[in-house]
Structure 1
Amino acid sequence: MSAHSEMRLLPWSGPEGKPCFLGSDSENGHLSRLADDTEAIQLAVGAELLAHASEVQAAGDAEAEELRLLVTDLTGALWDVLRVAESRGHRLPTRDGGGEGPRLPAAAFC
């Protein structure tokens, strides 16, 4: 089965917070492009929140309410990033019969 014939976990939830999936062989369909754009936005928001959290931590003088809001926002962003990672992980190609995921060269991690 090719990576594109499986169901794609979408970066948003359906009614009652249940996961949404897209069953399509097309990477260029409207919903696939919308999902790609949404994932990019979610990752960017997560990066911005992380930068802000680093600033707040470095300042060391945040009020309790500011910290609660920051933790709430970071929690939401982390859920989004984990969903993106899960979705993208399921779409990685695998080697036939190997049972392992793709092997990346060490340079890919630098």
Structure 2
Amino acid sequence: MTAQHELRLLPWAGPEGKPCYLDTDDREGYMSRLADHIEAVQLGMAAELLGQAHQVLDNETADLEKLRLLAAQLAGALRDVLRVASSRGSRLATPDYPEGE
């Protein structure tokens, strides 16, 4: 398992939207590298979407349908980014502090 003896949350969902996990110590293995690549793609897409969102929101004539589509896309990107953050956060080493600190 991972150094922290936890499963890695993968950046995609399984059947019925359930989370998928990877149990490996090999950060250079195929599945770890695939997950790293997909996380990078998801973060890049979220950054691009944020730029598009600014353009739509700056357009005072944007119609309701365009705003709804933007909201749906932003919700999906936020879901992906939160999954990446959760996965990466759980893999961070937590320092051991003496009691009382």
TM-score by length of 1: 0.83
Q: Would you say 1:18 and 2:18 are equivalent positions? A: yes
How far the C-alpha of 1:60 sits from its partner, in A, is 1.5
How far the C-alpha of 1:97 sits from its partner, in A, is 4.7
Aligned residue runs from structure 1 range 1-110, under 5 A: 2-3=3-4, 5-97=5-97
- After TM superposition, what 4+ stretches of structure 1 lie above 6 angstroms from structure 2? none
TM-aligned CA distance change 1:98 to 1:68, over 3 Å: farther
Please tell me the residue identity of whatever aligns with 2:37. Answer: D
- 2:98 and 2:56 mapped to 1: Cα distance? 46
Q: Summarize deviations over 1:26-73 as a string: whole Å, max 9, x none.
A: 100000000000000000110111100101111221111111111110
- 1:60 and 1:84 mapped to 2: Cα distance? 33
- 2:93 and 2:63 mapped to 1: Cα distance? 47
| Number of positions where the alignment pairs a residue of Structure 1 with one of Structure 2 | 98
- 1:45 and 1:95 mapped to 2: Cα distance? 33
Q: Summarize deviations over 1:62-94 as a string: whole Å, max 9, x none.
A: 111111111110000000000000000000011
How far the C-alpha of 1:95 sits from its partner, in A, is 1.1
Gaps of 5+ in 1: 100-110
Partner in structure 2 of residue 106 of structure 1? none
Gaps of 5+ in 2: none
Q: Decide whether the 8 Å contact of 2:3 with 2:25 is kept in 1.
A: no
Please tell me the residue identity of whatever aligns with 1:24. Answer: T
Please tell me the residue identity of whatever aligns with 1:66. Answer: K
Identity of aligned residues (%): 55
How far the C-alpha of 1:2 sits from its partner, in A, is 2.3
Q: Secondary structure at the match of 2:12?
A: strand
TM-aligned CA distance change 1:49 to 1:38, over 3 Å: same
